[in-house]
Homo-oligomer: A and B are copies of this chain.
Amino acid sequence: MAGKKIRVTIWNEYRHEKEEEPSGESYPEGIHGCIRNFLSECDDLEIRTATLDEPDCGIPDEVLDNTDVLMWWGHVAHNKVPDDRVEYIRNRVYNGGMGFIACHSAHHSKPFRALVGTTGNLSWGDNCHEIIWNLKPSHPIAAGIPDHVDLGLEEMYGEPFYIPQPDDLIFGCWYDSGHIFRGGCTFTRGLGKIFYFQPGHEECRSFYNPYVQQILKNGVHWVAPNDFGYKNPCEAPYVKPVV
């Protein structure tokens, strides 16, 4: 893939930042704007953004067809995303190998639920002190990350977290509320790779944390599709003996 850029689409619900005080202050260009800014430091990425209130939620077929990695941030308007967009995303991941990164409250987004196959339910609580522990330093997503990252104030997302057993559990979260969380984990579905990462409440400033930025940069590169040796066939291909 030398020389070929990874085409990233950052999708943001973009409601909080326009309407509420602390979010607007934290992310004056929107969360997608903040993410775009730091991802732009990577030369090999070609980045666009998309938001809920654009036509087709900003992700018509032609955009998704030309997206290698889709990042997703959503919270209060999960239900506004039309089912046909969800199904299209799922097919792109499954059969096209598009990568998917679910940020923070995207655990309850339609695409994440459809991809991993569970509800994504979890316990939540008030903002509190969060520390992220690096459980798998050999994983490319953990490259350059120390044994722990003191994140400061974040929204508490705790166990039980209703996800399938992840392929890789890379980061574990500690909260001073007494909770823990499998906050950085990966899944594979068909040809595609998925990464869920906990930080990113609209009222907090985690997307400005240099380690969070590094992890998301690593994540984009890790979920990006392989140069596949084959494409998914039809639903139930009849095959002849190969010997």
- List residues of A whose CB falls within 8 A of some B CB: 94, 97, 108, 114-119, 121-125, 128-129, 131, 133-140, 142-148, 150, 156, 158-160, 162, 164-165, 167-169, 172-174, 176-180, 182, 187-193, 225-230, 232-233, 235-243
Contact = CB atoms under 8 A, between A and B. Distances in A.
Contacts of A236: 108, 121-124
Nearest to A226: B143
A238 B125 contact: yes
Nearest to A158: B239
Contact of A241 (B134, B177, B189): B177
A182 B241 CA distance: 18
A88 to B, nearest CB: 15
B164 A242 contact: no
A236 B236 CA distance: 38
A97 to B, nearest CB: 6
Nearest to A123: B239
B189 A118 contact: yes
Contacts of A226: 137-140, 142-144
A208 to B, nearest CB: 19
Contacts of A189: 117-118, 164
14 contacts: A116-B117, A123-B238, A128-B241, A135-B159, A142-B226, A143-B227, A147-B230, A162-B232, A164-B189, A169-B169, A172-B172, A176-B243, A178-B242, A179-B241
